[in-house]
Amino acid sequence: MKATTALLEGKVHKSLKQFVEKSVVQKDIEDKIAVSDKKLGTAIKEAFPELNVVNDAPVMELFRCIRFQQKDLLSENLSAQDMNQMALGLAHSLGRYKLKFSPDKVDVMIVQAISLLDDLDKELNTYAMRVKEWYGWHFPELARLLSDNLNYARVVRFMGSRANVTKVDLTDVLSETEAKLVHDAALLSMGTDINAEDMTYIQDLCEQVIEIHDYREELNGYIKNRMHAIAPNLTILVGELVGARLIAHAGSLINLAKHPASTVQILGAEKALFRALKTKKATPKYGLIYHASLVGQTAPKNKGKISRVLANKAVLGCRVDALGDENTKKVSIDNLKKIHMRMQQLDGRAPTTTPTGIPLEKYESPEEVVPVYNTSEDIVLEEVSSSKKRKRDSKKDDDEKDKKKSKKARRSSKA
């Protein structure tokens, strides 16, 4: 099965390599070797440079004829029904093996993990707020001093009742400054007293908050490692969590690769989009991609433009991740440089080099030659005297009168 998978991927398996060495190389066979797969032929040529590997139109026609006459060639040992069963069994076994062979490429785990991470965030906030409300009756000033939910839960579990503040060393869970503030506030607190049984349940709840937080950190690290294995190009551009949420929203990595850039840009803002279309207002400029670090670094007026550019490059990287293999070159590093250049242009800081590192030279417009006025080419018209002008005008009047008289004479003759 490993050999079959290697053949489909265009790789030379060790069994194939041993066969070629024993059957061809050691016997000094100088005939041409016909290979139907061009990628596999290239791999064999790299492993055995002395062999003459051929992959052209006549070879493809030869393999077509062999496949067409396959049943007749093997009919002496196998029937047509046996051949169909063998092909079906091989297809099923190969499919199961390929799924088992590359478990890192299964993006279903990413979808489930990011959904669990969102659920843990909601539960963690709910539990932390319940701890603050419950313990706040006993020590209300602590919530004002410690805004972090994790530190709050650790102090409550470590200290217990505020009367124990003089018996414990809070510097084990807090800094010296915060520990001093908590110590002083506990001595002057206006909260009510609480019995030991209630404090036990509060501390158990704090233990749950700390455990959920630790598990969330482990899950976050798992998502980052899996995203770098499944979609490295997408991760470089938008980050691990945003990329995982995009994959989860689309359903799978291949579905995300099929989306156009305009859809990826507003993925996650479908309600706002349809509401804007219904009310004929401006459509949203970004969805989940808004949480990417590149969009956050941009000025508010340019976030929509950078979201568009980032969505274009993210789709390209996602298609490389979904349809490429381990030998495919990563394209997101160059695309990341282009996005940074676009950000500089929008911010008014023109880049000094191109994405390939070529320095940009300042454009200088050519000097325009202003033509000089030449007085020698002027034409001077002769002045017409007033007497000649009067004669010319009188002649025009006489001509008009003659035309009118001729018209009247023609009319009278007709009548």
pLDDT tens, 157-194? 999 888 888 888 888 888 899 889 988 998 888 888 88
Calculate the average pLDDT of the chain.
83
Instruction: Report pLDDT for 23.
Output: 80
- Cα–Cα distance for residue pair 315/242, rounded to 1 Å: 13
Low-confidence ranges of the chain (pLDDT < 50): 101-104
Here the tokens at position 219 are 């899950």
- 3-class SS of residue 89: helix
Here the tokens at position 71 are 């049943």
Instruction: Report pLDDT for 104.
Output: 47
Q: How many CA atoms lie less than 13 Å away from 236 in the CB half-sphere?
A: 20
pLDDT in tens, 80-110: 777 778 778 877 776 666 555 444 457 888 9
Length of the chain: 415
289: CB partners within 8 A, 6+ apart: 238, 242, 246, 264, 265, 267, 268, 295, 307, 310, 311, 314
Residue whose entry in the numeric block shows the structure tokens 């190009």: 233
Residue 34 buriedness (CB in 10 A; 0-12 / 13-18 / 19+): middle
State which H helix or E strand residue 54 sits in. strand 53-54
